[in-house]
């Protein structure tokens, strides 16, 4: 009897162990299935990093190419035809107003001038004779020795001779003025930047030095370089910075370690339809004459931003067929695409004109397969974004 009881107890104990083991395996399988399901759910939710937009810099900086020109630049052409007798100022010569640059031999003009002098003497003699004759005829007319018609004719001859004399004087003045153009002089203080004549060259009135092909060039070019004009083409979206008081810093290739200051003078007031730029003009003091006309300049303009906008990393942009978007995350960690309007774009940062607020959580470098309304897992919220985007990109 006791043996049967012991066997029964052992069988019951074995059944309990088997049942417990089966229950354990079942629970483990359930836990494993739940873990797999959780892992799959987590794997289906992409990890994203969010950033917040930041206010744009209060000042905008713009780097543009420019051209430096002389304050005054005068190409000098001859006003008389002839042969160069001598030139006196070469390239780079400093000249003052009225300094003689060259002299021209003008035998043809000299002959015309001499003829004009002779014509004046002839007209003067004819006028003197007409005056005496008219006086005599007027005296005879008073005594009724000649008709009134004859007196009127002599009066008219006197007036005609006076007009001829005046014309002869003006003709002589014209040739006298041309005679003065035989001497080429500097129109202002400056430097000779061009000399395109040699002794014996034939120069043509108003046309300059004639080359073998019949083309003409100026004899000299004189530049006033005590101040220089800087010309810069400004894009239309940045033209608002052109205002009184604007200054620019200028670098030129020949002086890499020197910075020149330029002051805004004026702007063209219109845009080139091909380049969408407007020509602006600045002044650079050049008392030491270090800058030369025609110099290339690297110009940096800095001015207060017209209005405060937000900037975001360029990597946060989503390029869609209909325009630019960003992906934002709401409070439920759900992604949504939002249309934005962008301004200036740089390699590191982009100006956003509208479409976002400083409170928006914007996905940086959103996945290419991200969908509207998709759940996301925010890895590391960041206020603003890293310093890898420089202020230059913002601007």
Q: Is there a single domain that holds both residue 247 and residue 358?
A: no
CATH number of residue 153's parent domain: 1.10.287.470
In a domain, 155, yes or no: yes
Q: Hey, what's the torsion of the CAs at 266, 271, 272, 278, to 10 degrees? A: 30
Which tokens is 385 given?
């974004």
φ, ψ of residue 305 in degrees (nearest 5): -65, 140
Q: Is there a single domain that holds both residue 284 and residue 371?
A: no
In a domain, 262, yes or no: yes
> Cβ–Cβ contacts within 10 Å for residue 37, how many?
10
In a domain, 251, yes or no: yes
**What is the spatial distance between Cα 297 and Cα 290, in angstroms, rounded to a whole number?**
13
Length of the chain: 395
Domain boundary residue among 203, 234, 260? 203
Q: Is there a single domain that holds both residue 314 and residue 253?
A: no
Cα 293 to chain centroid distance, Å, stands at 17
**What is the spatial distance between Cα 395 and Cα 383, in angstroms, rounded to a whole number?**
20
**Per-residue DSSP letter, 334:** B
Which range marks the domain in which residue 115 is found?
A: 82-203
Q: Is there a single domain that holds both residue 131 and residue 199?
A: yes
In a domain, 38, yes or no: no
> For the chain, which residues score pLDDT lower than 70?
1-25, 30-44, 56-59, 207-216, 304-308, 380-395
**What is the spatial distance between Cα 390 and Cα 395, in angstroms, rounded to a whole number?**
9
- Provide the number of structural domains found in the chain: 3
**What is the spatial distance between Cα 191 and Cα 286, in angstroms, rounded to a whole number?**
13
Domain boundary residue among 304, 334, 364? 304
In a domain, 33, yes or no: no
Q: Is there a single domain that holds both residue 109 and residue 184?
A: yes
**What is the spatial distance between Cα 78 and Cα 183, in angstroms, rounded to a whole number?**
9
Block residue for tokens 């969908």: 371
Q: Is there a single domain that holds both residue 91 and residue 189?
A: yes
Q: Is there a single domain that holds both residue 195 and residue 98?
A: yes
Closest to 64 measured CA to CA, from 254, 301, 287: 301
Cβ(292)–Cβ(234) below 8 Å: no
Q: Is there a single domain that holds both residue 290 and residue 324?
A: no
Angle in degrees, CA 36, 42, 43, rounded to 5 = 85
In a domain, 185, yes or no: yes
State the pLDDT at residue 220.
94
**What is the spatial distance between Cα 364 and Cα 51, in angstroms, rounded to a whole number?**
6
**What is the spatial distance between Cα 165 and Cα 159, in angstroms, rounded to a whole number?**
10
- Cα-based distances in Å from 372 to 42, 326, 335, 336, 362: 18, 11, 6, 5, 14
Cβ(194)–Cβ(218) below 8 Å: yes
Q: Is there a single domain that holds both residue 330 and residue 233?
A: no
**What is the spatial distance between Cα 238 and Cα 119, in angstroms, rounded to a whole number?**
66
Q: Is there a single domain that holds both residue 190 and residue 103?
A: yes
Q: Is there a single domain that holds both residue 169 and residue 238?
A: no
Closest to 71 measured CA to CA, from 188, 149, 208, 154: 188
State the pLDDT at residue 166.
93
State the pLDDT at residue 380.
66
Q: Is there a single domain that holds both residue 328 and residue 238?
A: no
CATH number of residue 246's parent domain: 2.40.30.170
Strand 47-51 with 295-304, pairing = unpaired
**Per-residue DSSP letter, 186:** -
Domain boundary residue among 271, 304, 337? 304
In a domain, 210, yes or no: no
Closest to 333 measured CA to CA, from 383, 368, 367, 378: 378
Show the 3-state SS of 22-45: HHHHHHHHHHHHHHHHHHHHHHHC
**What is the spatial distance between Cα 122 and Cα 169, in angstroms, rounded to a whole number?**
11
Angle in degrees, CA 65, 66, 67, rounded to 5 = 140
**What is the spatial distance between Cα 225 and Cα 119, in angstroms, rounded to a whole number?**
46
In a domain, 111, yes or no: yes
CATH number of residue 375's parent domain: 2.40.420.20
User: Model pTM?
Assistant: 0.60
The SS3 call for residue 344 is strand
């Amino acid at each position: 009897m006791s043996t049967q009881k012991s066997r029964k107890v052992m069988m019951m104990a074995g059944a309990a162990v088997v049942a417990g083991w089966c229950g354990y395996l079942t629970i483990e399988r359930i836990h494993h299935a739940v873990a797999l399901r959780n892992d799959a759910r987590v794997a289906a939710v992409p990890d994203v990093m969010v950033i917040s937009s930041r206010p744009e810099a209060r000042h905008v900086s713009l780097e543009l190419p420019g051209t430096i020109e002389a304050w005054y630049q005068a190409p000098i052409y001859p006003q008389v035809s002839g042969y160069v007798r001598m030139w006196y100022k070469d390239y780079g010569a400093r000249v003052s107003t009225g300094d003689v640059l060259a002299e021209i031999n003008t035998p043809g003009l000299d002959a015309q001038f001499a003829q004009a002098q002779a014509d004046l003497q002839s007209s003067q003699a004819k006028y003197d004779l007409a005056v005496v004759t008219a006086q005599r005829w007027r005296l005879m007319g008073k005594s009724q020795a000649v008709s009134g018609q004859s007196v009127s004719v002599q009066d008219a001859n006197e007036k005609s001779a006076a007009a001829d004399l005046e014309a002869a004087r003006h003709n002589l003045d014209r040739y006298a003025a041309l005679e003065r153009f035989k001497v080429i002089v500097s129109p202002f203080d400056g430097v000779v930047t061009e000399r395109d004549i040699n002794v014996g060259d034939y120069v043509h009135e108003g046309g300059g030095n004639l080359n073998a092909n019949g083309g003409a060039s100026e004899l000299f070019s004189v530049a006033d370089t005590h101040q220089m004009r800087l010309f810069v083409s400004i894009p239309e979206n940045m033209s608002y910075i052109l205002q009184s008081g604007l200054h620019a810093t200028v670098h030129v290739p020949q002086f890499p370690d020197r910075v020149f200051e330029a002051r805004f003078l004026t702007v063209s007031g219109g845009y080139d339809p091909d380049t969408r730029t407007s020509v602006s003009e600045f002044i650079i003091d050049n008392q030491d004459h270090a800058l030369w006309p025609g110099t290339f300049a690297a110009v940096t303009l800095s001015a207060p931003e017209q209005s405060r906008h937000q900037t975001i990393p360029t990597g946060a942009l989503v390029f869609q067929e209909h325009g630019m978007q960003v992906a934002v995350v709401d409070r439920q960690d759900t992604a949504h695409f939002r249309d934005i309007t962008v301004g200036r774009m740089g390699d590191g940062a982009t100006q956003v004109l509208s479409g976002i607020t400083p409170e928006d959580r914007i996905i940086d470098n959103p996945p290419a397969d991200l969908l509207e309304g998709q759940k996301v897992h925010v890895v590391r919220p960041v206020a603003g974004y890293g310093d890898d985007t420089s202020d230059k990109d913002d601007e």
